[in-house]
């Protein structure tokens, strides 16, 4: 087995990070809009559609991170049997192993967990009004992306926004139908991508007085 140098490992990690960020941007630019089209067949209110998409993103990351935590514990326990380095090198070995064996992630289980969470969310329509399975492919993409982002060091995550928060221009863009003089966020359209507390990709919000 060919041993990788630290420089090679850094280049591989940087390349993987760049690909995941590009994928996040593609989901925002393409898959999100496709999901909106599917939801608008059931819901006429565009604001509600955008709220559903945003909460779907939050719940997908939450479910994927929970699944990743369980997988990492199992992988570390297995690798520790033959590992000769310290805790830090074991952590990196586990991350690399999971990144190369994405089949360890039961994405179907996480998607169903997301749908169940959305069904009981008081801000969203009840299950009798809409079946969130119509955007299951969108949820699957988000869960897979979120899971892969946890294999980076440091991991990438999304910011959790609150309706009524003060608009932060370093974290969000205003949606085209916003009131550009309003200082507060009415609701969130898409989350910002974060790394160690720093904004990597801005999200999108609607501001209104």
* Domain boundaries, position 172: 159-208
Please tell me the chain's helix, strand, coil percentages from 3-state DSSP, rounded to the nearest 5: 55, 10, 30
In DSSP terms, which residues pair with 52 in a beta bridge?
A: none
Same domain, 185 and 132: no
Same domain, 13 and 64: yes
pLDDT of residue 176: 93
Q: Note whether residue 28 is domain-resident.
A: yes
**Phi and psi dihedrals of 195, rounded to 5?**
-145, 115
Residue 113's nearest CA partner among 51, 71, 67 is 67
Same domain, 25 and 121: yes
Q: Note whether residue 1 is domain-resident.
A: no
Same domain, 135 and 37: yes
Residue 187 CA to residue 191 CA, distance in Å, equals 11
User: How confident is the prediction along the chain (209 residues), in pLDDT tens digits per residue?
Assistant: 344 455 556 677 889 999 999 999 999 999 999 999 999 998 999 999 999 999 999 999 999 999 999 999 999 988 888 777 667 678 888 999 999 998 999 999 999 999 999 999 999 988 778 899 999 999 999 999 999 999 999 999 999 999 999 999 999 999 999 999 999 999 999 999 999 999 999 999 999 98
Query: Which of 153, 168, 194 is where one domain is finished?
Result: 153
pLDDT of residue 2: 43
Same domain, 61 and 125: yes
- Report CA-CA distances (Å) from 189 to 32, 134, 204: 10, 19, 5
Both structure tokens of 54 = 């945003």
pLDDT of residue 6: 57
How many domains in the chain? 2
pLDDT of residue 125: 86
Give me the helices (H) in 132-206, please. 136-149
Same domain, 97 and 135: yes
Could you count the other beta carbons within 10 Å of the beta carbon of residue 125?
18
Average pLDDT along the chain: 91
Query: Which of 107, 122, 153 is where one domain is finished?
Result: 153
State if pTM tops 0.85: yes
Both structure tokens of 108 = 């179907």
Same domain, 188 and 129: no
DSSP state of 181: T
pLDDT of residue 82: 79
Those residues whose C-beta lies under 8 Å from the C-beta of residue 166, and which sit 6 or more positions away, are: 183, 184, 185
Same domain, 182 and 87: no
pLDDT of residue 1: 37
In DSSP terms, which residues pair with 187 in a beta bridge?
A: 206
């Amino acid at each position: 087995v060919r041993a990788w140098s630290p420089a090679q490992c850094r280049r591989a990690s940087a390349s993987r990070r760049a690909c995941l960020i590009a994928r996040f941007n593609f989901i925002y630019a393409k898959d999100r809009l496709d999901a909106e089209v599917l939801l608008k067949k059931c819901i006429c209110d565009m604001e509600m559609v955008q709220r559903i998409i945003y909460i779907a993103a939050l719940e997908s990351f939450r479910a994927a991170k929970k699944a990743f935590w369980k997988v990492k514990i199992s992988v570390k326990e297995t690798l520790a049997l033959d590992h000769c380095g310290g805790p830090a090198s074991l952590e990196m070995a586990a991350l690399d192993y999971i990144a190369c064996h994405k089949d360890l992630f039961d994405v179907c289980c996480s998607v169903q967990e997301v749908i169940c969470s959305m069904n009981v969310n008081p801000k969203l329509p009840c299950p009798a009004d809409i079946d969130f399975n119509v955007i299951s492919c969108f949820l699957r993409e988000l869960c897979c992306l979120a899971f892969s982002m946890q294999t980076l060091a440091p991991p990438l995550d999304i910011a959790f926004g609150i309706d009524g928060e003060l608009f932060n221009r370093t974290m969000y863009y205003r949606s085209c139908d916003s009131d550009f003089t309003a200082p507060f966020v009415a609701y969130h359209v898409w989350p910002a991508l974060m790394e160690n507390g720093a904004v990597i990709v801005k999200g999108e919000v609607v501001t209104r007085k």
